[in-house]
Structure 1
Amino acid sequence: MEPSTMQRFEVSAGQALDGLTVVMRRGGVFTGRVLESIGQPLANAGVTALLKRLTSIDWPAGPTWSGAPLLMPSGQSQTNDLGEFRIFGLSAGEYVLVANPRSGFGGAAPSSSVETMMTSTYFSGTADVSAARPVAVQAGETVSDLTIRLVTVRAFQVSGVVVDERGAPVEGAMVMLMGRRGTNSLLALSMGPEGMSPSDAGGRFTFGGVPAGSYTLRASAGGGFFATSDDFIIDGSGTPREGPARRTPTPEPGTIEVTIENANVSDLKLVMPRSY
Structure 2
Amino acid sequence: MRMIRLASAFALAAVFSTPAAAQIVVGGEPMQMPPPGGRQMKTGTGLIKGRILAAETGNPVRRAQVRLSGQDVFPKSATTDNEGRFEFKDLPAGAFTINASKSGFVAVNYGQKRPFEPGKPIDLVEGQSVDNADITMPKGSVISGRILDEFGEPVADTIVNAMRSTWSNGKRRLQSTGRTATTNDLGQYRIYGLPPGDYYVSATLRGTQEMVVSEMAATMAVRTTSAIGGGAPEGPSSGYAPTYFPGTPNGNEAQKLVLALGQEAQNTDFGLFPVRLVRVRGSVVTSEGRPAEGVMVSAAPRTANDSNPLFGASSSARTDANGNFTLTGVAPGDYTLNARTSQIFTSSSDGNSMSFTMIRSSGPGGGGESSQESGSVPLTVSGDDMSNVIIVTTKGASATGRVVYDGGSKPTTNSIRISAAATDDTGPMTLVSG
Query: TM over 0.5: same fold?
Result: yes
Question: Which residue of structure 2 aligns with residue 50 of structure 1?
Answer: 163
Q: In structure 2, which of residues 252, 259, 262 is the aligned counterpart of residue 140 of structure 1?
A: 262
Residue 124 (structure 1) shift = 1.8
Q: In structure 1, which of residues 59, 76, 95 is the aligned counterpart of residue 199 of structure 2?
A: 95
* Distance in 1, Cα, partners of 2:242 & 2:382: 17
Residue 22 (structure 1) shift = 0.6
Residue 28 (structure 1) shift = 1.0
1:151 pairs with 2:273: yes
> Structure 1, residues 155-212: CA drift from partner, whole Å, max 9, x if none?
4332101233333323443322222222x4xx53866545222323322222234232
8 Å Cα contact 1:137-1:143 kept in structure 2? yes
Q: Which amino acid is the alignment partner of residue 321 of structure 2?
A: A
The alignment-based identity, stated in percent, is: 29
8 Å Cα contact 2:159-2:180 kept in structure 1? yes
Change (3 A) 1:193 1:251: farther
Change (3 A) 1:22 1:10: closer
8 Å Cα contact 1:37-1:118 kept in structure 2? no
Q: Partner of 1:130: helix, strand, or coil?
A: helix
Q: In structure 2, which of residues 284, 292, 313 is the aligned counterpart of residue 170 of structure 1?
A: 292
Change (3 A) 1:80 1:9: closer
Q: Which amino acid is the alignment partner of residue 140 of structure 1?
A: G
1:188 pairs with 2:300: no
Q: In structure 1, which of residues 35, 59, 70 is the aligned counterpart of residue 148 of structure 2?
A: 35
8 Å Cα contact 2:314-2:327 kept in structure 1? no
* Distance in 2, Cα, partners of 1:219 & 1:9: 45
* Distance in 2, Cα, partners of 1:75 & 1:148: 21
Unaligned runs of 5+ in 1: 54-66, 226-249
Q: Which amino acid is the alignment partner of residue 134 of structure 2?
A: T
1:269 pairs with 2:370: no
Q: CA RMSD in A?
A: 3.9
1:121 pairs with 2:243: yes
Q: Which amino acid is the alignment partner of residue 307 of structure 2?
A: A
Question: Which residue of structure 2 aligns with residue 73 of structure 1?
Answer: 176
> Structure 1, residues 6-40: CA drift from partner, whole Å, max 9, x if none?
87898563232113211112221212332333444
Residue 150 (structure 1) shift = 0.6
8 Å Cα contact 1:156-1:211 kept in structure 2? yes
Residue 95 (structure 1) shift = 1.8
* Distance in 2, Cα, partners of 1:10 & 1:195: 47
Residue 52 (structure 1) shift = 5.2
8 Å Cα contact 2:141-2:195 kept in structure 1? yes
Q: Partner of 1:160: helix, strand, or coil?
A: strand
| Structure 1 stretch displaced more, 189-198 or 114-123 | 189-198
* Distance in 2, Cα, partners of 1:127 & 1:160: 26
Question: Which residue of structure 1 aligns with residue 381 of structure 2?
Answer: 260
Change (3 A) 1:199 1:33: farther
* Distance in 1, Cα, partners of 2:239 & 2:122: 60
| Structure 1 stretch displaced more, 192-201 or 20-29 | 192-201
Q: Which amino acid is the alignment partner of residue 381 of structure 2?
A: I
Q: Partner of 2:307: helix, strand, or coil?
A: helix
Question: Which residue of structure 2 aligns with residue 229 of structure 1?
Answer: none
* Distance in 2, Cα, partners of 1:81 & 1:273: 49
Q: Partner of 1:165: helix, strand, or coil?
A: coil
1:202 pairs with 2:305: no
* Distance in 1, Cα, partners of 2:244 & 2:123: 49
> Structure 1, residues 98-138: CA drift from partner, whole Å, max 9, x if none?
112362558467759x9443111111222233333322322
> Structure 1, residues 221-246: CA drift from partner, whole Å, max 9, x if none?
6xx69xxxxxxxxxxxxxxxxxxxxx
Q: Partner of 2:378: helix, strand, or coil?
A: strand
* Distance in 1, Cα, partners of 2:280 & 2:234: 13
Q: Which amino acid is the alignment partner of residue 177 of structure 1?
A: A
8 Å Cα contact 1:94-1:137 kept in structure 2? yes
Structure with greater contact order relative to length (CA < 8 Å, sep ≥ 6): 1
Change (3 A) 1:71 1:159: same
Q: Which amino acid is the alignment partner of residue 100 of structure 1?
A: T
8 Å Cα contact 2:175-2:307 kept in structure 1? no
Q: Which amino acid is the alignment partner of residue 156 of structure 1?
A: V
Change (3 A) 1:260 1:190: closer
Q: Partner of 1:266: helix, strand, or coil?
A: strand
1:22 pairs with 2:22: no
* Distance in 1, Cα, partners of 2:336 & 2:144: 33
8 Å Cα contact 1:121-1:150 kept in structure 2? yes
Output the TM-score relative to the length of structure 1.
Answer: 0.65
Output the TM-score relative to the length of structure 2.
Answer: 0.44
